[in-house]
Amino acid sequence: MNSKFYLLLIIVISIRATLCIAQTANLNSIPKGTIEKCQFKESKIYPGTERNITVYIPAQINQSKPACVYVSQDGHKQQFTDAMDILINSKGMPVTVGIFISPGTMPSLLTSGGSRGNRGYEYNSLGDNYARFLIEDVLPFISKKYNLNLSENGNDRCIGGVSSGGICAFNVAWERPNDFRRVYSNSGSFVAYCGGDIIPVLIRKCEAKPIRIFLHGAKNDLDNAGGNFWLTHLNMENALAFAGYDYKAQWSEGKHGDRYGEAFEDAMRFLWNDYPAPVSPSLEQPYIRNILIPEEKWTLVGEGYHSAGSLTATSKGEVVGCDALANRLYKIDPEGKEILYASNAKQVCGLTTGTDGRIYGISKVTGKVQVFDENGDSKVIAKGVLASALVACPGGGFYAAGNEKGISKVWHISMSGEVRVVDTGLKNATGCAISVNGMLLHVADGGSHFIYSYMIGTNGDLSGKEHSIWLHIPDNEDNSGAEAICMDSTGRIFASTKIGIWVGSDQPYHNQCIISAPSAHIFGLCFGGPEFNVLYASCGDKLFKRKVQSKGHHFF
């Protein structure tokens, strides 16, 4: 029996040796890329850091055409560039320049000191710093140093990494999908190190981004205070499936980082499959699918505003907007044509439409509430309300929200002009809206991550104050920046935040999805159009619109 075992062992060893010889011969027979090494010390995003960069330049590169790019964290791995030689030669991936970047170190300013490692900060942090580091620092540097024609199209760029480098790779594409759309993540640290455990939640909620992902997880991965990595791998896989992403999840029985090099070829074949066909976003997330229309995207309505802010709609579906710094109101007709509505807007910054169909505005400078007629002429109906937001009540009167001398307040204004403060205490009261049934007042607190809800009394008093609506905050921000709120006919709240347009029910306050914003910060939001199914968003100097399945709710 022992002789048979040893004979079998010898046969297995011989076969493996033969395969290795064949593989080596095959590797020697194909064109090989060149390897260049350099140091990089000129980062504007991580000033004071220095790092090594290895650049793989494929033999097939044609400088007359932009080359695809693969960025890898934690430095060069010969196994990867050998695989790239094979893959490029066999058309398993396009002609691709490999950029292998070591994490930064920061030398001590003291003669007796060593250096500070920057890996954890660079790789585990959320936000767009590392994406900007690649786009603004590294890629232009490498392109210039080696005279390379690198593609700037996200569809031509892939990024990968293991452990903290794995979450870093995904986060780069998540933050900048127009710059990176293909991701290889092995044993990604989607755990509570620097907030990475929120990523599966955001995948489930946010409008899907054009990203293709290859995940590899190990069943005996790390289990520490940050989380269980194997469970996190399953959580990521489930989240990607829920939101309809184009992904492939692979697993093994090993430990942390298992098969990182071995799975590289599988990852590249999947990620570059059908290239150059574009990686496209999905609308499979159930709530997104019920709100958005696949072919309808944000489109520009107008630009050049001094400060496009508050929006409201007329009974005809026209949208009235406030350009506060220009001291004017404009009107967008159902065909999208802009018309000057009021050349002297009385410094109004907040707008609403009353149950009588008239346009009302409030000024945080003068404290006056104005009503505008069809010609854009106005008269004062109330004074002493230094607010920036205004909403009409279904039974008449208004609520206003804003900050007076650094104190956030909510006011009630009767149709006779009586003004009362009905709440204080928010950090930064901004937008406000009333529920479809007229029972609740919602006030956004842009200085926190909450929208507050109140029960409305018969005389306009408020009770039952609760910070019941929880908003996500970007990693590099301390608050949600919630600004504008509007309602659809089903009772869903649409609230603009720094992370996008939060959409959720006001009963029982579940967040259903987050719609991507057309620009960095939305100051005004409302439904307009003939059927009130066009969502308008004002963003500083621009106005956008997007047709949706939801229909806006207006008390008129």
Q: Where are the alpha helices (DSSP H) in 137-198?
A: 139-145, 164-175
Q: Does the pLDDT at position 18 exceed 60?
A: no
Flag whether pLDDT at 318 surpasses 70. Answer: yes
Mean of per-residue pLDDT scores for the chain: 94
| Res 486 pLDDT > 80 | yes
CATH of region 288-547? 2.120.10.30
Above 80 in pLDDT, residue 33?
Answer: yes
* 24, pLDDT greater than 90: no
- Give the residue-averaged pLDDT of 494-514: 89
> Would you list the DSSP string of 297-315?
--EEEEEEEEEEEEEEE-T
Q: What is the mean pLDDT of residues 495-510?
A: 88
pLDDT at 7: 57
Average pLDDT over residues 145-163: 98
Residue ranges of the domains in the chain? 31-108+115-284, 288-547
pLDDT band with cut points at 50, 70 and 90 for residue 488: very high
User: 80 forms bridges with which residues in the sheet?
Assistant: none
Q: What is the mean pLDDT of residues 224-244?
A: 97
Q: pLDDT tens digit string along 333-373?
A: 988 899 999 999 999 999 999 999 999 999 999 999 999 99
User: Dihedral sign, CA of 89, 92, 93, 97?
Assistant: negative
Instruction: With cut-offs at 50, 70 and 90, classify the pLDDT of residue 328.
Output: very high
Q: Average pLDDT for residues 469-486, to the nearest whole number?
A: 93
The pLDDT, as a whole number, for residue 10 is 59
Residue 18 or 74, more confident: 74
The pLDDT score that the predictor gives to residue 26 is 60
pLDDT band at 494 (very low <50, low <70, confident <90, very high): very high
Q: How many residues does the chain have?
A: 556
The residue that leads in pLDDT, 232 or 519, is 232
Mean pLDDT of 212-226: 98
- Measure the CA angle with vertex 170, ends 169 and 173; round to 5°: 95
Distance between CA atoms of residues 455 and 43, nearest Å: 52
Q: Taking the C-alpha atoms of 509, 511, 516 and 521 in order, what is their torsion angle to the nearest 10 degrees?
A: 40
Contact call for residues 186 and 263 (beta carbons, < 8 A): yes
User: What pLDDT is attached to residue 507?
Assistant: 76
Residues 6+ apart with CB under 8 A from 424: 407, 408, 409, 410
Joined tokens for residue 13: 């060893």
Task: Tell which residue, 218, 62, 80, has the closest CA to residue 158.
Answer: 80
> Does the pLDDT at position 246 exceed 70?
yes
285: exposed, middle or buried (Cβ count in 10 Å: 0-12, 13-18, 19+): buried
Per-residue tokens: 444: 């956004």
Residue 13: the pLDDT is 55
CA distance 65 to 372: 58
CA distance 323 to 319: 13
Measured between alpha carbons, how far is 59 from 56 in angstroms, rounded to an integer? 9
- The total of other beta-carbon atoms located within 10 Å of residue 13's CB is 10
As a whole number, mean pLDDT of residues 173-184 equals 98
Q: At what angle do helices 2-29 and 78-89 cross, to 10 degrees?
A: 70
Q: Are the CB atoms for 501 and 467 separated by under 8 Å?
A: no
Res 191 pLDDT > 70: yes
Fold category of 31-108+115-284 in CATH: Rossmann fold (3.40.50)
If we measure between CA atoms, which residue out of 154, 166, 298 comes closest to residue 222? 166
**Statement: residue 326 has pLDDT above 80:** yes
The residue ranking higher by pLDDT, 140 or 4, is 140
The answer to which of 1-5, 294-298, 492-496 has the lowest mean pLDDT is 1-5
CA 503 to CA 510: how far, in whole Å?
Answer: 9
Q: What angle do CA 440, 446, 448 make, to 5 degrees?
A: 95
Q: What is the pLDDT of residue 111?
A: 75
Average pLDDT over residues 162-171: 98
Query: What ranges make up the beta strands (E) of 435-515?
Result: 440-445, 450-456, 462-470, 485-487, 492-497, 500-505, 511-515
Query: Which of 279, 330, 278 shows the shortest CA–CA distance to 304?
Result: 330
The Cα 432–Cα 388 span in angstroms is 10
Percent pLDDT > 90 in the chain is: 88
* Mean pLDDT, residues 143-159: 98
Mean pLDDT over residues 247-263, rounded? 97
Q: Which backbone phi and psi does 211 adopt, to 5 degrees? A: -135, 135
Residue 419 in contact with residue 402, Cβ under 8 Å? no
Query: Residue type for 204, please?
Result: R
What is the tens place of the pLDDT at every residue in 82-113?
Answer: 999 999 999 999 999 999 999 999 998 887 77
- Tally Cβ neighbours within 10 Å of residue 36: 14
The pLDDT confidence band at residue 22, using thresholds 50, 70 and 90, is very low
